[in-house]
Chains A and B, each alone.
Chain A
Amino acid sequence: MATIIETRGLTKRYGRLTAVADLNLQVEEGAVYGFVGPNGAGKTTTMRILATLLRPTAGEAWVAGHSVLKDRRGVRRAIGYMPDFFGVYGDMKVWEYLDFFAACYEIPAPTRRGLVDDLLELVDLAHRRDDYVDALSRGMKQRLCLARALAHDPQVLILDEPASGLDPRARVEIRELLRELQAMGKTIFVSSHILSEIEEVCTHIGVIEAGRLVAAGTLEEMRQRIQAQRVVRIGLMARAEETMAWLEGQEGVLEVEPVEPNGAGDLRVTLAGGDETLAQLLSGLVGAGFQVTAFYEETGNLEDVFMRLTKGIVS
């Protein structure tokens, strides 16, 4: 698949602070790329550079083949940008608001009317067409802003923390909308400081930390990274403490802890190694005469990897 967003050695300094340091990103066409990092990691800075609102100190970036330094109009035509913090013209009606931005994207007046209705339909705001923007809820304003970013049918969407500050319901609605947009063939570059918020819709994840890309890949690749450290849950009939002592002596076992604090129930074992280690452990357990009722791997949570990757680099 073709690369649609690419950055090479992208750097942005604010005085002595380096917000983005030598960032090399590649986003494939049609992907939903989750750009994850803690607050202050440089997500907004990167996105603003990609949206041609900020000039990088060094490095280069291309969106849909247009350089953000040399062909800003080309880039602007290709992207729809939604900033993390944005205002709306509250004294305008919803349709007027979209009509205004469609005009800003040089869409001729006769085609704008139908377009506005289509956009409102897409973001499920058709029933609020003639209301003032001020009367909308926060989630609705967010969707309106998204509709605004779609006015010129861009190939790429750059969404900066679209779910932040929304209630769970509005968050689900945004997520559904992202799925719909992906189905429409748009590439979506979306940031968040909470991985689980966007994990479900992403096909790719890039983790940024203090301006550097610390990990990037498809969702599968990222999952496999976690599985280098596997967590196995073992259910036992009895003799939990004995089992714990036995397990701690086994090869590849990193940590054993009871699931419940009193130790009566199941055990959680963290181990390093592949499937063989896992099989050996099970047969060893049975061979040693422990009565095993359950033995299964707990699926790793991406949030855990994320926490591990970004551990304490940013204070």
Chain B
Amino acid sequence: MIERWQAIFDHPILWLELRRIHRKRWWPGRRFFLFYPVLLGAALGCGVMSMLDDSLGTRLAALVTSVPLVCLVGVASWLLNFALPWIAPTLTATSIARERELGTFDLLRATLLTERSIVLGKLGGCLARLWPGILTLALLAPFQVLWVVAGGSSGLSSVFLLADSMLDPGRPWMWSSLLLAGLAGLLRPWGDLALHATVGLFVSALSRSSGKAIAVSYGAILATRVAFYLLTSLLNIALLALPVALLDTPEAAMNELLMMPALTSLGMVLVEFVGAALLVWAAVWWLKRT
């Protein structure tokens, strides 16, 4: 058992990449991460203030302080949500193809490293290079839930909305769909990241030149995104239109309406993760075959 763990941590490719990151000083300064406790403090302050007193004045104060907070969280996480999944393929697409170009890949393959550990090591190495972004995104996640739950309008008001609906036993649809939407929003960037990174990795395992690998990866990712978008829209339309047509009570239809978009987006995130796992498996299979 201990040996197993040692073998995982003594992964040569991962260490190689980490050493490179370390050497190239590929990270922002430590001060960069100070903003997290500041953010947390501000958020707590807002919450406490609005809990202590229900007067209009404190509510207003909480709202005013929450505006820059929400902006910061929103902009930062939105940027990262977008940037991370679209930067990752550049790194993964060049990983294996670059080794081929340099003529180092055969040396690697002739060792006792299995194809699986080469592929996973490369993936880990590429993700490790993105670590400042990944860490920030993870730290922002709690704030992001609120953001997503609120539908992108105002972080704090959604908390109240959620709390209200939770306290109301008559409307379980309301808060469960809000929770689902929050979960989907939370997982979404990770699903995107996993899928995009593994598309790059898979293309890289197949191609000889890294330039071509990058071009093909982005093409494939764009195509997948368009397909996902169309699929989600169609699903939503179908799932919304059918119950409204079949059920006569408008109340039930309303509940469905709330639930369905959350469910489909959660489903899409799941599909992304499954796709990512399949792509890793396919890359390993391809390397084993040749």
Contact A104 B23 (CB under 8 A): no
Contact A86 B111 (CB under 8 A): no
Q: How many A-B residue pairs have CB under 8 A?
A: 61
Whether a CB of chain A sits under 8 angstroms from the CB of B104 is yes
Closest to A82 in B: B107
Minimum distance in angstroms from B214 CB to a CB of chain A? 19
Q: How far is the CA of A104 from the CA of B7 in the complex (A)?
A: 11
Q: With A77-B112, A87-B102 in contact, do A100 and B15 touch (Cβ < 8 Å)?
A: yes
Closest to A91 in B: B20
Q: How far is the CA of A103 from the CA of B18 in the complex (A)?
A: 15
Interface size on B, residues (CB 8 A): 21
- Mark interface residues in B207-222 (1 if CB within 8 Å of A CB, else 0): 0000000000000000
Minimum distance in angstroms from B169 CB to a CB of chain A? 59
Q: Which residues of B, 1-34, contact A by the 8 Å Cβ criterion?
A: 6-7, 10, 12, 15-16, 19-20, 23
Contact B110 A53 (CB under 8 A): yes
Closest to A104 in B: B111
Contact A106 B112 (CB under 8 A): yes
Q: How far is the CA of A145 from the CA of B111 in the complex (A)?
A: 13
Closest to A76 in B: B112
Residues of B within 8 Å of A81, CB to CB, are 106-107, 110
Minimum distance in angstroms from A80 CB to a CB of chain B? 8
Whether a CB of chain A sits under 8 angstroms from the CB of B113 is yes
Whether a CB of chain B sits under 8 angstroms from the CB of A83 is yes
Q: With A76-B112, A101-B111, A104-B113 in contact, do A87 and B15 touch (Cβ < 8 Å)?
A: no
Q: With A103-B12, A103-B15 in contact, do A76 and B104 touch (Cβ < 8 Å)?
A: no
Contact B107 A83 (CB under 8 A): yes
Contact B103 A76 (CB under 8 A): no
Residues of B within 8 Å of A79, CB to CB, are 110
Contact B103 A87 (CB under 8 A): yes
Contact B16 A100 (CB under 8 A): yes
Q: Which residues of A, 20-63, contact B by the 8 Å Cβ criterion?
A: 48, 51-53, 55
Whether a CB of chain B sits under 8 angstroms from the CB of A96 is yes
Interface size on A, residues (CB 8 A): 30
Whether a CB of chain B sits under 8 angstroms from the CB of A294 is no
Residues of B within 8 Å of A145, CB to CB, are 107
Closest to B103 in A: A87
Residues of A within 8 Å of B111, CB to CB, are 76, 101, 104-105
Minimum distance in angstroms from A131 CB to a CB of chain B? 14
Q: How far is the CA of A87 from the CA of B111 in the complex (A)?
A: 15
Whether a CB of chain A sits under 8 angstroms from the CB of B109 is yes
Contact B112 A89 (CB under 8 A): no
Q: Which one, A73, A86, A91, contacts B107 given CB within 8 A? A: A86
Contact B10 A89 (CB under 8 A): no
- Mark interface residues in B77-121 (1 if CB within 8 Å of A CB, else 0): 000000000000000000000000011101111111100000000
Q: Please give me the 8 A-B residue pairs with the lowest Cβ-Cβ distance, nearest first.
A: A87-B102, A87-B103, A103-B12, A104-B111, A87-B104, A81-B110, A104-B12, A86-B103
Q: Residues of B at under 8 Å CB distance from A?
A: 6-7, 10, 12, 15-16, 19-20, 23, 102-104, 106-113, 290
Q: Residues of A at under 8 Å CB distance from B?
A: 48, 51-53, 55, 73, 76-77, 79, 81, 83, 85-89, 91-92, 96, 100-101, 103-106, 108-109, 145, 148, 152
